[in-house]
Amino acid sequence: MNWFKKESKKEDHSLFKVIQHFKKSGDFIDFHNPQSPVPYWISYFGSLIDAEILHRDILPFLNKSSIKKLDELKAALPIENVTVTSDLEVIQKLMLKGSLLIRFKEKDSQGVLVKAEMNKAREVTIPEEEFSVVGPKEAFVESLTTNLNLVRKRLPIPQLEIREFVIGTLSQTRVAVIYIAGIANEENINTALQRVGDIQFHQILDSSYIAQMISDNDNSPFPQLIDTERPDRAVGVLAEGSIVILVDGSPHALIGPTTLVKFFSALEDYFLNWQLASVLRIIRLFAVSFSILVTPIYVAVLNYHYELIPKDLMATLVSSRSFIPLPPFLEALVLELTIELLREAGARLPAKVGQTIGIVGGIVIGTASVEAGLTSNVLLIIVALAALASFTTPVYKMSNAIRLIRFPFLIFAELWGLVGIAIAFSFLMGHLLRLTSFGRPYLEPIYPPRLEDLKDAFVRLPFKMQPKRPIELQSPDTIKFSGKAAKQKKDIDE
C-alpha cells in the first residue's frame, strides 16, 4: 500500500504545496513577518487584491495583534468576509478570486482567508450604441456588481430576484438571471434558468456567448434575445415581465422572451410623446423594409419588368445606365459588397482612421465609380440609402441580420424578378413564423394576432391606454396600473 501512504503524506503538506505551486507565478507574493508579536505568513496574488485594503486594514492590525488562534483572528479582523478553512479547493478558489491567506506557521494546513479583491471597473459611462438624446445616460459596464447595482437601484423592491450561476470551466464567469417574481411568467423563468444552467462551455467572454447558447434556434440570422447596454431598458422590460441576463465581463444585458417588433423600438420612443414616437417607429419599419427590398426591386425591375416603370422615370434610369457594362444584378451586388466592405473596414479600424476611410470610401470611390461608368448613379443612391436605412434599427445585432437577408432577396430577384422577391418573402415569413424566443412566438403580436399588444408595436399609444402588461410575456400579474383614474371622462366646463 505504498501509494496510500504517499497520498496521506501529500495531504499533510498540501497547502504548503499549493503555495509552492502558486509561487511559480510571478505575481504571487508569500510574505513573512517575524518581527510582529505573533509571526505570520501572508500570501496572495498581487494582481488580484486591492493593496489598499491590505495596507490600511490588515497589515497594521496583524503587526499589533497578539492573537494566536485562527478563529479568534477571524473574529477580530475588521473585515466582513473572512473564512477559516483547511479545504484546499476553497482556498485555491478564493485566492484566485482575490483573497489573502494568513497563516501562523509556514506549513500550517489551515489558514484565514480574507476577501480583498480589487474591483477595478470602468466608470459608468454614456451609452454609445443605444444613445438617446432624451433620458438617462448610464450604460452597463464590465463589472457584474456594478451592473447589478444599476439594476437594483432602479427597482428597490423585494420581489426582484437575482439567480447567479458560474459558467465556463476555465473562465468561471458569473452569470446572473434577473426577474421580478410575481410579474415574470414561471415557465419563462424556468426556461431561462434551465437553459443557462445547462450551458457546458469552457469560456464565456461576453453575454453574446450566452445568447448564442440559449437561443431557441441558433441557425437563424435573427437574434432571439435583445441585447442592450442601457440599464433603463433592462429595468423597463423587467417591469413588463421579461427576464434579463447579465454576464460578468460584458457590458450588454440580454433580454428575453422578446418579439421581432421589439427590436425596432428604441427606448427613446418612451421618452418622447406618443405621436412623435409612433411616427419614428413607422419610419424605422419603413426604413427596414426599404433597406431589404429596394436593391432587389431595382434588379427585378431592370432585369424583367421594365414595363412597370412609366416612360418618364424610365428615361432617367436608362440614361444613367446606358454606359454601364455590368448587368443590374452584378452592378447591385458589387455596390452592396462595397458598402459592406466600407462598413467592415470602418468597424475594424481605429476611430480616427475609420472616419477618413469613410470619406475616402463613400465620396471618392462612389463618385469615381459613377464617373468611370462602372455603376449608375441611381443605384448608388439606392444602395447608399438602403445602407443608411439599415442603421436606423436600434439594436445592432438586428441591423446586421437585416443586412444579411438582403442578399438572398437579391439572388431571388435575379432569378425570377418580383415573383422571386415574393418567394424570398415566403421563406422569410415561414422562418419568422417558426422562430420562438424562450418558447414564445417571435412574430407576436402580428401572429398570433393580439390587438392588445399592437398598442406598443408598430406605434406607441399613450401610457394611459396601456394599463396591461403585454400578453406575449404571459405575466401572472397582467395589470400594470389601474387605469380607472385615467379613464374619467369630463364634460365641457366641468
Partner 1 sequence: MKVSVKEQFLISPYLAFFVVHSMQIGVGVLGFQRYVAIYTEQDSWITVLVGGAAVHIVIWMMYKMLNKEQGDILSIHETTFGKWIGGIFTFLFMIYLMAMGITVLRTFIEVLQVWMFPLLSTWTFTLVYLIAVYYIIAGGFRSVVGVCFLGVVVPFYLIFTFLAPLEFANLRNLLPVWDHSIKEIALSFKTMTLSYLGFELLLVYYPFFKNPETSQKWFHYGNLFTVFLYLYLMFITLVYYTPDHLKRTIWATLAMWKIIRFPFVERFEYIGIASWAVVILPNVCLAFWAASRMAKRLFNVTQKKALLLILVITLIVNPLFKERTEIDLLNSIVSQVGLYFIYGYIPLLFFIHYLMSKVRKKV
Closest distance between partner 1 and the C-beta of residue 380, in Å?
Answer: 19
Question: Cα 453 to chain center, whole Å?
Answer: 25
- In the list 63, 169, 356, 426, the residue contacting partner 1 (rule: CB under 8 A) is 426
Closest distance between partner 1 and the C-beta of residue 309, in Å?
Answer: 7
Binding mask 49-78 for partner 1 (x = CB under 8 A): ------------------------------
- In the list 263, 270, 274, 304, the residue contacting partner 1 (rule: CB under 8 A) is 304
Question: Own/partner pairs for 306-314, CB < 8 Å, 24+ apart?
Answer: none
**Phi, psi for residue 42 in degrees, rounded to 5:** -135, 130
Closest distance between partner 1 and the C-beta of residue 390, in Å?
Answer: 21
Closest distance between partner 1 and the C-beta of residue 370, in Å?
Answer: 22
Closest distance between partner 1 and the C-beta of residue 304, in Å?
Answer: 7
User: Does position 286 bind partner 1 by CB under 8 A?
Assistant: no
- In contact, 214 and 192? CB cutoff 8 Å: yes
Amino acid at 420: G
Binding mask 442-481 for partner 1 (x = CB under 8 A): -x--xxxx--------------------------------
3-state secondary structure 206-229: CHHHHHHHHCCCCCCCCCCCEEEC
Stretch that binds partner 1, among 107-115, 242-250, 278-286, 413-421 (CB under 8 A): 413-421
Question: Cα 124 to chain center, whole Å?
Answer: 16
Integer Cα distance of 261 and 446 in angstroms: 9
Integer Cα distance of 125 and 144 in angstroms: 15
Beta bridge partners of 271: none
User: Does position 308 bind partner 1 by CB under 8 A?
Assistant: yes
Binding mask 340-359 for partner 1 (x = CB under 8 A): --------------------
- In the list 341, 364, 388, 433, the residue contacting partner 1 (rule: CB under 8 A) is 433
Alpha helix stretches (DSSP H) within 391-458: 396-434
CB count, 10 Å around CB of 493? 4
Integer Cα distance of 458 and 285 in angstroms: 8
> Which among 47, 59, 45 has a CA at the least distance from the CA of 94?
45
- In the list 201, 271, 396, 416, the residue contacting partner 1 (rule: CB under 8 A) is 416
Closest distance between partner 1 and the C-beta of residue 435, in Å?
Answer: 9
User: Does position 327 bind partner 1 by CB under 8 A?
Assistant: no
Closest distance between partner 1 and the C-beta of residue 219, in Å?
Answer: 12
Residues 6+ apart with CB under 8 A from 202: 168, 169, 170, 171
Stretch that binds partner 1, among 44-52, 138-146, 150-158, 417-425 (CB under 8 A): 417-425
User: Does position 309 bind partner 1 by CB under 8 A?
Assistant: yes
Integer Cα distance of 200 and 167 in angstroms: 7
- In contact, 221 and 260? CB cutoff 8 Å: no
Integer Cα distance of 340 and 332 in angstroms: 12
Closest distance between partner 1 and the C-beta of residue 211, in Å?
Answer: 22
Closest distance between partner 1 and the C-beta of residue 409, in Å?
Answer: 13
User: Does position 29 bind partner 1 by CB under 8 A?
Assistant: no
* Chain positions contacting partner 1, by CB under 8 A: 304-305, 307-310, 313, 416-419, 421-423, 425-427, 429-431, 433-434, 443, 446-449
